[in-house]
Amino acid sequence: MPDLEPGQTHLHAGRSVLRPDLIEKVTGAAQYCVDIRRSGMLHAKIVRSRRAHARIASIDTSAARAMSGVVAVIVASDLAGLFARFGHIVPDHEILASGKVRYYGEPVAIVVADTEAAASDALDYVDVDYEDLPAVMSAEEALAPGAPLVHEEQHRRVDVDSLSPVETGADQGELRTSNVAHEATLEWGDVDSVWPVAAAVVENRMHYPMLYAYAMEPYNAVASFDEGRLEVDSTAQHPFMVRDDLARIFSLPLAAVTVRAPYLGGGYGSKSYTKVEPLAAVASWRTGRPVKLVLDVEESIYTTRADSAEVHVRSAFDDQGHILAREIDIVMDSGAYADNSPLVVAKSVNRSFGPYRVPNLRVRGRSVYTNTSPASSYRGFGAPQGVLAGETNLEQAADRLGIDSAELRRRNLVRPGEEILHGKRGIDADLPADLEMVVGALREHAPEDQSWFASAMACSASDAGAFPVSTATVRVQADGSVIVLSGSTEMGQGSRSALAQIAAEELRVELRVVTVRQSDTGATAYERTTGASRTTTLTGLALQRACQDALSKLRSMAAEVKGCSADEIAPSPAGFALPGGDTISYGEVVRSWFGAAAGEVTGIGLLRREGATAKMPPFWEIGMIGVGCRIDPATGAIAVEQLVTVGDVGFAINPQAVEAQDLGAATQGLGCALFEELLYDGPQLMNPNIVDYRVPRMRDLPGRIDAMLAERRDGVGPYGAKGSGEGALNPIAAAVATAVARVVGRWPDRVPLTPERVWRLINETGPDDTTGDRSSPREG
Amino acid sequence: MLPPFALERPDRLEDALALIGDDCLPYCGGTELLMAMKLNVLRPSCLVDLKGIAALARVEWRGDSLVIGGAVRHASLAADAEISRSLAVLTVVEQRVGNARVRTQGSIGGNLCFAEPRSDVATLLAALGASITLASSTGQRRIAITDFVLGAYETVREPTELLVEVLVPSARLKSGVYLKHQYAERPTVGVALVREGENGVWRLAVGAVGDVPIVIEVSSLDEIDAEAVADMTDPIEDISGGVDYKQHLVAVYVRRAVQAAAEDLGA
Ligand SMILES: Cc1cc2nc3c(=O)[nH]c(=O)nc-3n(C[C@H](O)[C@H](O)[C@H](O)COP(=O)(O)OP(=O)(O)OC[C@H]3O[C@@H](n4cnc5c(N)ncnc54)[C@H](O)[C@@H]3O)c2cc1C
């Protein structure tokens, strides 16, 4: 057991412990979903639409079915009797396209065969006859008057805030009149009265690209349907929500469906909610055998992407730079199915105007159906889209007002405890202090050579944590070791070690005696989701309660076997101190109480919206970032030389993991700022592969990285912790765009800022912006 | 996914030559071949692995000429001490081909035979005046690199031929610079500028930007007009840039290469 050093308040929490999953992941011993096989298992491959929008006139499966090794070819009509759709907000997502296809890449049929090769070979023999329909390939086209509709029917929508489960039954019949999948608004004060009296009104527009989250492991699942029970192993961030979707499809009791998620090879939001599980499940249901489905990278790219967005911001200031009003319009291209985009757009609305005092506000966000691949959650959840436009707008205002942009932020940032969203939890962070950390680090490490160089900062605050429903179980064994059960998924973020640290801390045991088991709906505790940076904070709280529950049971049992009163028993390491000076270990308590070398004591922790977590959001996630960028004016290439992150996490349970999260999030954000963009050319993507879709590499990492932590114990979670993992991503594209504008003298209207785009920005002819002189002459 | 195929692993060149043909393809690192097979662009029934053939794995000097076996991998060339002493420009190129996985798997022969236009290796070899030897079970022929590559993914190689070696004549006498603009996995523009001995001519090659590298010979650096060279190129418009941008990049990199070469001379 580590000793408490001076200044340390915790035995395990707050230390950069070795992650229990580290070695097996590095050596390759770790089992991922793709490694799972079942006896008698068949393999599925998906026939995908080769049209963006078309009526399916007919599907002829006979040639494919006649091929050797093929066991079944399943089309939408084979799913009669099932509720053949999913979608936790709008159940609009068909398992297999029926009637028409809505995007290139949409599943049309499933080929199930003895081997993957046989299934693959049969794909081309499924003959689908299409009649083309006019397609809408962008939000702009989709919103145009008279645009063809992606969905004709209106499906009953779940209230995003209450998140009550989707109701089944008669949700059809109502007809849609537009391609708007969801609209979210937020308004207070009277913005219109402000524009005429403001000292400055600053307006800008930014485009945020379609992105692929690029988890190293593509989507895959193994499903086994047998005698009214369904078992699925899958790459699901939220196994319990996937279970709910699957139970609804087959009208099964929740308890008859088991979804397990082993280690995930990355998710970044892209593995939240249901993806390939229904395909594997219906294939098993039809064939009566276990079915494995593994997508390749191209199929994964077509399965989920980030919502692209067109964001228009208008802000009014007084002559001292105080924000008087902000009006923001967000249009997201959400692709062919709603998936989680309604929530993404709602969050984008909340997160777009920044952690500032905004006395008058009007924000409108629309999630729009188009005939492109479906968009859903992506790390940052609507924040990156909104913050890019909102923060560059603020920077442009600083130019206009002649006020240094850090100073402009100082004047407008909310102070600790102040509300950002009216009636919601006040900010549980000290943003002005975080800001000074970034300003200081950028200044201190500014390079001597300032030619074609600029630094910039940006910030954001996200209403994070999602809806606080969480449970945890601890099982104290007869030898005093501890099993923690949690439904939160380990996906690389380090939850396995953070939860072990919390359990060891609460129970005063050594870390090595704690084993954490996660994400098995049939065996572990319930967890709503693994997202919104919530695990350490919310699962952590549930786990603390479970440990206290176990401790109080153990204490009563110790009193019973020792014949004293529970009040006379005091805590001691891995056990209790008894009256008279003896101690008793947890193992002895368990063994003596059961009267054999056996038994265990279970502690349960439940968390809901009450007490400390009554107010939404459970916590705010802060993004506070600085970058220093140098541009090669001849080629337009950007080198990010400096990166400053502030992890304002309240308390870092594993500081190294927090820094790694910040660096990872910032790097992923740099991908969007500099390189990443899915591009459509006609009905299909030009770059649905990892050679042409450029992600950041080691060489792109900034030479100077200052990863700082701000630990003020101001979070609602264990020991004052708040979540981490998205914060550093959210503002970074805005910071890079600002640095580029400072160097070039012109504001970009989109990211990624590829070399070609920067070169064009430099060489564009037209009215210059107000960012002042170039720092050096152009190279010839 | 990878369709099924038979795999042959000969260790003698003759056996490999007896096997290859239309439906039985040479296979070395597989960095291009296996991707093409996964995409169903190529569907051979058999692959002949060249990695076990010692004759294709050698790097050796024949007098002043450098001879590189067709199956030598980029990583080996990048780490070769003798090459870095005598022909450092090749080391520079090989160290920066693609990514670590491509360098450890991919071979020089595979690079040239696949003839993907965005090749650094082909560009440099063109400037070096290199040639290659093609062998079949009936004989051998030697061809200048500039005659070997006909266009994008197109070479003069017959399906029954193997690229057995790359030969850089008088390599010990040559010196040069190679600069590239690389934004994504493959280069957007590559410029090689090589001098044939102390007082020899300069050969400038510009590759990756069009289907095949263009090569220009001049007797002094002053003769190189970067804008004119850019005009000679026929850039492929793609995700990494439009035609005007790529031509601009050619001019920039030609200027930079000339400057670097002039600095080398002065040093
Ligand atoms: C992601 C990525 C990035 C890359 N970046 C770069 C870059 O920056 N610069 C650059 O120059 N190149 C780059 N390349 C190309 C790389 O150099 C080649 O892929 C590699 O060298 C091919 O060699 P291989 O042994 O893997 O060929 P294989 O894939 O095994 O074979 C390729 C083709 O050549 C044939 N073949 C192979 N060897 C012989 C032989 N000896 N005789 C006859 N035919 C043969 C095969 O039949 C096949 O058609 C990149 C490639 C990838 C995939």
Instruction: Give the model's pLDDT for residue A466.
Output: 86
Residue in chain B lying closest to A299 (CA): B1
Q: What b/e string do you get for B216-237 counting C-beta neighbours within 10 Å, with b at 16 or more? A: beeeebeebebeebbeebebbe
Atom number, ligand 1, closest to the C-alpha of residue B25: 47
How many angstroms separate the alpha carbon of residue B179 from the centre of ligand 1? 20
- Rg for chain A (alpha carbons), in Å? 27
Q: Inform me whether the C-beta atom of residue A679 falls under 8 Å from chain B C-beta atoms.
A: yes
Distance B106 CA to ligand 1 centre (A): 5
Which tokens is A60 given?
A: 């002829």
Compute, in angstroms, the gap from residue A675 CA to the centroid of ligand 1.
Answer: 25
- What is the chain A residue with the closest CA to B96? A699
Average pLDDT of span A139-160? 86
Other C-beta atoms closer than 10 Å to the C-beta of A131 total: 11
What are the pLDDT digits (tens) for A207-249? 999 999 999 999 999 999 999 999 999 999 999 999 999 999 9
A740 and A603 in a common domain: no
d(CA A18, CA A12): 11
> Could you tell me if A276 and A293 are in contact, meaning their C-beta atoms sit under 8 angstroms apart?
yes
Q: In the predicted model, what is the mean pLDDT of residues A449-463?
A: 97
A–B CB contacts, 8 A cutoff, strictly below: 42
* Three-state secondary structure call for residue A637: coil
Best probe residue, ligand 1, of B22, B25, B28 (max atoms within 8 Å of C-beta): B28
| Straight-line distance from the first to the last Cα atom of chain A, in angstroms, rounded to the nearest whole number | 65
Statement to judge: residues A455 and A485 lie in one domain: no
| C-alpha span between A496 and A535 (Å, rounded) | 10
Domain membership flag for residue A695: yes
Q: Do A580 and A633 have their domain in common?
A: no
Q: Over chain A, what is the mean pLDDT?
A: 94
pLDDT for A750 beyond 60: yes
As for the ipTM of the complex, it is 0.94
Higher pLDDT, B49 or A8: B49
- Say whether A759 and B3 touch across the interface (CB within 8 A): no
Chain B residues whose CB is inside 8 A of the A116 CB are 1
Q: What is A729-759 written as a DSSP string?
A: TTTHHHHHHHHHHHHHSS--SBS---HHHHH
- Whether A513 is covered by a domain: the verdict is yes
Q: Which domain holds residue A500?
A: 20-30+467-613
Q: Is the pLDDT of residue A174 over 90?
A: no
**How many Å lie between the centroid of ligand 1 and the Cα of residue A751?**
32
DSSP classification of residue A779: P
- Work out the minimum CA distance from A634 to partner chain B, whole angstroms: 7
* Interface membership of A512 toward B (CB under 8 Å): no
Helix axes A383-401, A732-744, angle to 10 degrees: 30
Q: Which of A563, A597, A613 is the last residue of a domain?
A: A613
Cβ of A692 within 8 Å of Cβ of B181? The answer is: no
Candidates B116, B118, B183, B250, partner chain A, best to mutate (most A CBs within 10 A): B183
Closest by Cα among A235, A337, A331, A314 to A276: A235
Closest by CA to A265, choosing from A291, A300, A299, A311, is: A300
Identity of the residue numbered B55: A
Residue at A263 is within a domain = no
Q: Which residue out of B32, B97, B180, B239 would a mutagenesis test of the A interface target, given it has the greatest number of A Cβ atoms within 10 Å?
A: B239
* Contacts A759 to B, Cβ<8 Å: 245, 248
Distance of alpha carbon B254 from alpha carbon A220, whole angstroms: 48
| Cβ-based contacts of B249 with chain A (< 8 Å) | 635
* pLDDT confidence of residue A20: 84
Q: How many other β-carbons are positioned within 10 Å of the β-carbon of residue A144? A: 12
Mean pLDDT of A366-370: 98
Same-domain check for residues A676 and A733: yes
In a domain? residue A661:
yes
Measured distance CA(A777)–CA(A774) in Å, rounded: 7
Please tell me whether residues A558 and A671 are part of one structural domain. Answer: no
Picking from A635, A691, A692, the nearest residue to B181 by CB comes out as A635
Percent of chain A with pLDDT over 90: 90
- How far is ligand 1, taken at its centre, from the CA of residue A601, in Å? 61
Q: Which residues pair with A455 in a beta bridge?
A: A628
- The predicted pLDDT at position A168 comes to 40
Task: Mark yes or no for CB contact A117/B252 under 8 Å.
Answer: no
Q: Mark yes or no for CB contact B184/A756 under 8 Å.
A: no
Q: Which of A568, A591, A613 lies at the terminal end of a domain, its last residue?
A: A613
Tokens coding A506: 């609460």
* pLDDT score of A766 more than 60: no
Do residues B160 and B109 lie in contact, with contact meaning Cβ atoms separated by under 8 Å?
no
Residue A155 included in any domain = no
| Confidence band for A169, pLDDT divided at 50, 70 and 90 | very low
Mean per-residue pLDDT for A198-208?
98
Same-domain status, A446 and A545: no
Per-residue pLDDT of chain B (267 residues; tens, 9 = 90+): 788 899 999 999 999 999 999 999 999 999 999 999 988 899 999 999 999 999 999 999 999 999 999 999 999 999 999 999 999 999 999 999 999 999 999 999 999 999 999 999 999 999 999 999 999 999 999 999 999 999 999 999 999 999 999 999 998 889 999 999 998 889 999 999 999 988 889 999 999 999 999 999 999 999 999 999 999 999 999 999 999 999 999 999 999 999 999 998 776
Task: Give all strands of the β-sheet with A200-208 in edge-to-edge order.
Answer: A180-188, A360-369, A323-335, A308-317, A200-208
Task: Using the predicted structure, report yes or no on whether residue A603 has a pLDDT greater than 50.
Answer: yes
Q: What angle do CA A35, A660, A668 make, to 5 degrees?
A: 75
Q: A672 and A643 in one domain?
A: yes
Residues of chain A in contact with residue B38, where contact means CB-CB under 8 angstroms, are: 296
Q: Is A120 in Cβ contact with B183 (below 8 Å)?
A: no
Q: What percent of chain A has pLDDT over 70?
A: 96
Tell me whether A759 touches chain B (CB under 8 Å): yes
Lowest mean pLDDT among A15-19, A306-310, A433-437, A727-731: A15-19
Residues A581 and A628 in one domain: no
Task: Out of B183, B186, B249, name the one closest to residue A754 (CB).
Answer: B183
For residue A774, is pLDDT > 80? Answer: no
For residue A438, the domain's CATH number is 3.30.365.10
User: Which residues, including other chains, have CB under 8 Å from residue B54's CB and lie 6 or more apart?
Assistant: B11
**The pLDDT of residue A163 is above 50:** no
Same domain as A537, residue A482: yes
Q: Which of B248, B256, B258, B259 is best to mutate for the A interface (most A CBs within 10 A)?
A: B248
Write down the pLDDT at residue B267.
63
Give backbone dihedrals phi and psi of A74, rounded to 5 degrees, phi first. Answer: -110, 130
Chain B residue numbers touching A697 (CB-CB < 8 A): 99
* Residues A623, A460: Cα–Cα separation, whole Å: 5
Query: Encoding tokens for residue A762?
Result: 């430099």
User: Is A675 an 8 Å CB contact of chain B?
Assistant: yes
Kindly determine whether residue A635 and residue B185, on different chains, have CB atoms separated by under 8 Å: no
Report the DSSP beta bridge partners of residue A111: A45, A73
Question: Do A631 and A684 share a domain, yes or no?
Answer: yes
Binding-site residues, ligand 1, Cβ < 6 A: A 691; B 25-33, 50, 70-71, 97-98, 102, 105-107, 109-111, 113-114, 116, 119-121, 162-163, 185-187
pLDDT band at A88 (very low <50, low <70, confident <90, very high): confident
Among A81-95, A330-344, A740-754, the range scoring the smallest mean pLDDT is A81-95
Strand partners, A326: A315, A361
**Start-to-end Cα distance in chain B:** 53
DSSP string, A317-380: E-TT--EEEEEEEEEEEEESS-TTHHHHHHHHHHHSS-SB--SEEEEEEEEEE-SSPPEE--TT
Domain end among A591, A613, A635: A613
Burial classification of residue B85, based on how many CB atoms lie within 10 Å of its CB (0-12 exposed, 13-18 middle, 19 or more buried): exposed
Residue A392, min C-alpha distance to chain B (Å): 25
- Test site for ligand 1: of B113, B124, B179, most ligand atoms within 8 A of the Cβ: B113
Among A758, A779, A777, residue whose Cα is nearest residue A640 = A758
Q: Would you say B156 and B113 are in contact if contact means Cβ atoms under 8 Å apart?
A: no
* pLDDT the model gives residue B39: 85
Q: A54-58, A158-162, A767-771, B70-74: which has the minimum mean pLDDT?
A: A767-771
Contact A44, A530 (CB under 8 A): no
Question: Which helix (DSSP H) or strand (DSSP E) does residue A592 occupy?
Answer: helix A586-594
Bridge partners (DSSP) listed for residue A203: A314
Question: Would the pLDDT of A162 be above 50?
Answer: no
| Residue A521: both structure tokens together | 């709906």
Residues B21-37 pLDDT 10s? 999 999 999 999 999 99
| Amino acid in position A215 | A
Using the mean position of ligand 1's atoms as its centre, give its distance from the Cα of residue A687 in Å: 20
Number of domains in chain A: 2
Q: CB A759 to CB B240 under 8 A?
A: no
Amino acid at A724: S
Q: Read out DSSP for chain B?
A: -PPP-EEE--SSHHHHHHH-BTTEEEESS-TTHHHHHHTTS---SEEEE-TT-GGGS-EEEETTEEEEETT-BHHHHHH-HHHHHH-HHHHHHHHTSS-HHHHHH-BHHHHHHHT-SS-HHHHHHHHTT-EEEEEETTEEEEEEHHHHEEETTEES--TT-EEEEEEETTGGGEEEEEEEE-SSSS-SEEEEEEEESTT--EEEEEESSSSS-EEEEESSGGG--HHHHHHH--PPPBTTB-HHHHHHHHHHHHHHHHHHHHHHHH-
DSSP for B123-179 reads HHHHHTT-EEEEEETTEEEEEEHHHHEEETTEES--TT-EEEEEEETTGGGEEEEEE
Counting atoms of ligand 1 from 1, which one is nearest the CA of B122? 11
Q: Is the pLDDT of residue A767 over 90?
A: no
Average pLDDT over residues A590-597: 96
Residue position matching structure tokens 């209403």: A463
Do A619 and B237 touch, CB atoms closer than 8 A? no
Q: Is the pLDDT score of A756 beyond 70?
A: yes
Please name the residue ranges forming H helices in A368-521.
Answer: 383-401, 405-412, 431-444, 495-507
Cα A567 → chain centroid: 45
Q: Give kind and range of the element (H or E) at residue A646.
A: strand A638-648
Task: Classify residue A637: in a domain, yes or no.
Answer: yes
Q: Would you say residue A704 lies in a domain?
A: yes
Residue A77, both tokens = 């009509």
Q: Which chain A residues are Cβ-neighbours of B3 within 8 angstroms? A: 117, 120-121
User: Which value, to the nearest 10 degrees, does the dihedral of the CA atoms of residues A298, A303, A306, A307 take?
Assistant: 120
User: Tokens 């920077």 map to which residue?
Assistant: A395
A755 with A621, same domain: the answer is yes
pLDDT at A160 over 70: no
Q: Is A637 in the B-facing interface, judged by CB distances under 8 Å?
A: yes
Q: Are residues A755 and B183, on separate chains, in Cβ contact within 8 Å?
A: yes
> Among A635, A675, A676, which would you mutate to test the B interface (most chain B Cβ atoms within 10 Å of its Cβ)?
A635
Q: Answer yes or no: is A320 within a domain.
A: no
Say which residue the tokens 């064009």 belong to.
A760
| A587 plus A696 within the same structural domain | no
**DSSP for residue A700:** G
Phi and psi at A326, nearest 5°, equal -140, 140
Task: Say whether residue A634 is in contact with chain B using an 8 A CB cutoff.
Answer: yes
CB contact at 8 A, A478 and A672? no
Predicted local distance difference test score (pLDDT) of residue B266: 75
For residue A202, how many other CB atoms are within 10 A of its CB?
21
**Best residue among B102, B154, B188 to mutate for probing ligand 1, ranked by most atoms within 8 Å of CB:** B102
Stretch among A6-20, A167-181, A239-253 having the lowest mean pLDDT: A167-181
Angle between helices B88-95 and B120-127 (to 10 degrees): 170
